[in-house]
Structure 1
Amino acid sequence: MAVQLLAYEVADLCLGKPPLRSLPASATVADALAALKSADENFISVWSCDHNSSNRKNPECVCLGKLCMVDIICYLCRDENLASPGLALKSPVPVLLSKIEGLVRHVEPSSSLLEAIDLILQGAQNLVVPIKTNSKHRKQLPKPSSICSTIHNGQEFCWLTQEDVIRFLLGLIGLFSPIPTLSIETLGIISHDYLVVDYHSRASSAIEAISRSLVDQTSIGVIDEGGILIGEISPFTLACCDETVAAAIMTLSAGDLMAYIDCGGPPEEIVRVVEERLKEKNLEGLLDEFVVGPYNSTGNGSSCDEELSSPTTPLPRLGWYTRCSSYSARMVRRAEAIVCHPGSSLVAVMIQAIARRVSYVWVIDDDCSVVGIVTFANMLEVFRENLESMI
């Protein structure tokens, strides 16, 4: 078994992967906002690469990190940005990147599957991999012509996520028998380091937790006074929202925020509450930037190759999901938590997470109280240990 698995390379997981779209480090937060709204994925990469350099024939291009709508939402919720979100949108895009090193790592297509798993267990969320192309095709690659590009120094890249690796292992699950049939409790992979917030607490008190859950690729459980899991505030759900959610976070309770970001759009009564509380809190900056003006959906088929919106462009009214052009390409999730039990098998939890496009599953008791959380990283530890014993 080990010989067969160790023969796989990262390139085997990259088959059919689309070229990675990116932003240059010189872009602004407004550029990132427009790019995310027109993209088919929730994340976009940020690169440092001088394509016009006259000093070097082969300038080194490096992926500095990745960002999503959650990064922008949390950035707009900072005290210094609440009064003037329009000015905040003019900031350089690197202000959105996590300061934690190693979240994005460059690897070669010839790297082994085992090496990829080790990098993920060391903290990598995405592995940036050059797309193999023949020399003839590479010469025909067009030069970058817009702020969003898929080409860096004449090379296209894709990236692998933890989900990609788990999906690949699920296709080979029979090779690990009987490990996949054992319960997550028996395997000891239930993590007790998880984030929760009280249902009635202010949503703004969870801003730091939202940022941490994005880095950890987990979620924030919303519980009642008895510790019962009611729902969650998930970065995976927030990533499908737009920037106006910043106003909701600053004015609503955790429970009301769940209703606001739930599938289908925020109830009108909650939208009115947000507008009233913005006025009460003297947050006219957010009110003017996100509420004034007619609703303006961005679902017009625009792409990164078209003109990006500027910080002075009126933003849409308070809404949940305005990227209609890519709606069908995304898995839109509800605020209802995805749960399993300590006795659930490893393979069942894997399938559950993959089906719902998340990298974690909450573990609860029969009374719905939180026991812990299981992540893709926890699962990969099991497979890595199993492979280690076979080498």
Structure 2
Amino acid sequence: MAAAHLYPYVVADLCLGKPPLPSLPATATVADAIAALKSVQDNCISVWSCDHSSSRRNCTCVGKLCMVDVVCFLCQKDNLDSPAVALKSPVSVLLPKSEGLVRHVEPSTSLVEAIDLILQGAQNLVIPIKTSSRRKHLPKSPPSPLIFPTTHNGQEFCWLTPEDIVRFLLGSIGQFSPLPTLSIDALGIITDDFEAADYHSPASSAVGAISRSLARQTSVAVVDAGGMLIGEISPSTLACCDETVSAAILTLSTGDLMAYIDCGGPPEEIVRLVEERLKAKKLEGMVEEFVLGPYSSNSASSDEDLPSPTTPLARAGRVGRSGSGYSARMVRRAEAMVCHRWSSLVAVMIQAIAHRVSYVWVIEDDDCTLLGIVTFPKMLQIFRQHLKPII
């Protein structure tokens, strides 16, 4: 019954109301990416490679970026002494090396085909969207100097994520009965393949784990010596910070970093501690760029008029996209979202969607020992198997 109900749906049905993607040219620099990320409403921005030399004027989305990509890049050893030079690097250094994370698909692509692409590793499906005739004639608002056009060759695009598909399936969850009521343990979707860091370890030792968890759309579990889950370092939380959080990662313990990026901003004493430790590590470049501010970039793209950021950087890790205050989009703290092995599939789906995460940690009932993680792709695997008979 579920297959018969859902099989006619195509990705265009899931794109209704989706906003067009703001874009950054592949010719931009890291500094340009920072400026653009501080100007968009979402936490990420699409990167496009456009060839206008031929009559076909080919434009392709080659990836997406968020502030975590920038932070992990700035924390690399080669960039510590000269962050100003690192900011002038091409934006391509921030793009994940994995292929197939972003895929162009037609609006007529079926829901089942979209699920297959997600299960093959795609994180974002780029889809052309129709612009209504009424919208075409509406007066255009002056574009922000830091946001690039959302059209490519006159066409607007949006993208779908695993969250969008899981949310859509949740709307038809009754069609899958009794599957939603089964436990995640019985369904076999708990995995122990996840990133973890010790609470007392240096946060800098978790940079690789943060980068890998971003690529997998999960998080880094923060545990004690006994394996009890204390919290997490979430890429989605870090993405709401600005680039100055890289200084905190280089100087604080994992536990202190959790406090630094938590809602409300870091305590003043932790901010002072970061500055002192940067100086002790002789990272004067980091102090100058991320503590004293301001910084500037003389970068310019070959085919785009890109502004250079000149706003002084806030000393706190938690900032709004306007450069001051706290992010209005932050809806969760460093505490991790958890469930139990006996939790039902539908309960875990609702929990993840309600908290805007693509995973939920699984813990023991008695001592909060971390057992594993349940992710959106694992959930989609189950639904895909349920749809299989009709395909």
Aligned to 1:37: 38
Cα distance in structure 2, aligned partners of 1:316 and 1:309: 17
Question: What are the superposed Cα offsets for residues 152-190 of structure 1, whole Å, 9 maximum, x if unpaired?
Answer: 111100000111001000001011010001000000000
Q: Per the alignment, do residues 362 and 132 of structure 1 end up closer, same or farther by CA in structure 2, a change over 3 Å counting?
A: same
Kept after mapping to 1: 8 A contact 2:184/2:345: yes
Q: What is the 5 A alignment of 1:173-322?
A: 173-293=173-293, 308-310=307-309, 314-322=312-320
Cα distance in structure 1, aligned partners of 2:328 and 2:312: 26
Aligned to 2:299: none
Kept after mapping to 2: 8 A contact 1:40/1:329: no
Q: How many angstroms does 1:134 deviate by?
A: 6.1
Aligned to 2:5: 4
Aligned to 2:88: 90
Q: Which amino acid aligns with 1:74?
A: C
Aligned to 1:302: none
Q: Which amino acid aligns with 1:292?
A: L
TM-score (norm 2): 0.91
Q: How many angstroms does 1:293 deviate by?
A: 4.9
Aligned to 1:301: none
Cα distance in structure 2, aligned partners of 1:183 and 1:70: 33
Determine helix, strand or coil for the equivalent of 2:380.
helix
Kept after mapping to 2: 8 A contact 1:24/1:48: yes
Cα distance in structure 2, aligned partners of 1:24 and 1:93: 9
Question: What are the superposed Cα offsets for residues 36-88 of structure 1, whole Å, 9 maximum, x if unpaired?
Answer: 111100010000013xx3x4232111001001000000000011111111111
Kept after mapping to 1: 8 A contact 2:32/2:306: no
Q: Per the alignment, do residues 137 and 264 of structure 1 end up closer, same or farther by CA in structure 2, a change over 3 Å counting?
A: closer
Cα distance in structure 2, aligned partners of 1:113 and 1:284: 52
Q: How many angstroms does 1:328 deviate by?
A: 6.8
Question: What are the superposed Cα offsets for residues 321-361 of structure 1, whole Å, 9 maximum, x if unpaired?
Answer: 23258967623321101100000000000000001000000
In structure 2, runs of 5+ residues without a counterpart are 295-303
Q: What is the 5 A alignment of 1:152-167?
A: 152-167=152-167
In structure 1, runs of 5+ residues without a counterpart are 295-304
Kept after mapping to 1: 8 A contact 2:258/2:334: yes
Q: How many angstroms does 1:138 deviate by?
A: 7.0
Q: Which amino acid aligns with 1:288?
A: E
Aligned residues: 377
Kept after mapping to 1: 8 A contact 2:265/2:316: no
Cα distance in structure 2, aligned partners of 1:293 and 1:139: 43
Cα distance in structure 1, aligned partners of 2:4 and 2:352: 28
Aligned to 1:382: 382
Q: Per the alignment, do residues 145 and 277 of structure 1 end up closer, same or farther by CA in structure 2, a change over 3 Å counting?
A: closer
Q: Percent identity?
A: 70
Kept after mapping to 2: 8 A contact 1:6/1:113: yes
RMSD: 2.4
Q: Which amino acid aligns with 1:72?
A: V
Q: Per the alignment, do residues 306 and 365 of structure 1 end up closer, same or farther by CA in structure 2, a change over 3 Å counting?
A: farther
Q: Per the alignment, do residues 258 and 324 of structure 1 end up closer, same or farther by CA in structure 2, a change over 3 Å counting?
A: same
Kept after mapping to 2: 8 A contact 1:331/1:357: no
Q: How many angstroms does 1:318 deviate by?
A: 3.4
Kept after mapping to 2: 8 A contact 1:259/1:266: yes
Q: Which amino acid aligns with 2:5?
A: Q
Q: Per the alignment, do residues 324 and 368 of structure 1 end up closer, same or farther by CA in structure 2, a change over 3 Å counting?
A: farther
Q: Per the alignment, do residues 33 and 145 of structure 1 end up closer, same or farther by CA in structure 2, a change over 3 Å counting?
A: closer
Cα distance in structure 1, aligned partners of 2:104 and 2:75: 31
Quick one: which of 130, 133, 138 aligns to 2:131?
133
Q: Does 1:370 align with 2:370?
A: yes
Q: Per the alignment, do residues 141 and 125 of structure 1 end up closer, same or farther by CA in structure 2, a change over 3 Å counting?
A: farther
Q: Which amino acid aligns with 1:358?
A: V
Kept after mapping to 2: 8 A contact 1:197/1:223: yes
Q: Which amino acid aligns with 1:109?
A: P
Q: Which amino acid aligns with 1:375?
A: T
TM-score (norm 1): 0.91
Kept after mapping to 1: 8 A contact 2:21/2:158: yes
Aligned to 1:47: 48
Aligned to 2:102: 104
> Which segment is superposed worse, 151-160 or 319-328?
319-328
Kept after mapping to 2: 8 A contact 1:237/1:332: no
Cα distance in structure 1, aligned partners of 2:40 and 2:131: 24
Aligned to 1:169: 169
Aligned to 1:323: 321
Cα distance in structure 2, aligned partners of 1:245 and 1:145: 25
Kept after mapping to 1: 8 A contact 2:318/2:326: no
Q: Which amino acid aligns with 2:377?
A: A
Aligned to 1:15: 16
Aligned to 1:346: 345
Cα distance in structure 1, aligned partners of 2:144 and 2:266: 38
Cα distance in structure 2, aligned partners of 1:261 and 1:328: 11
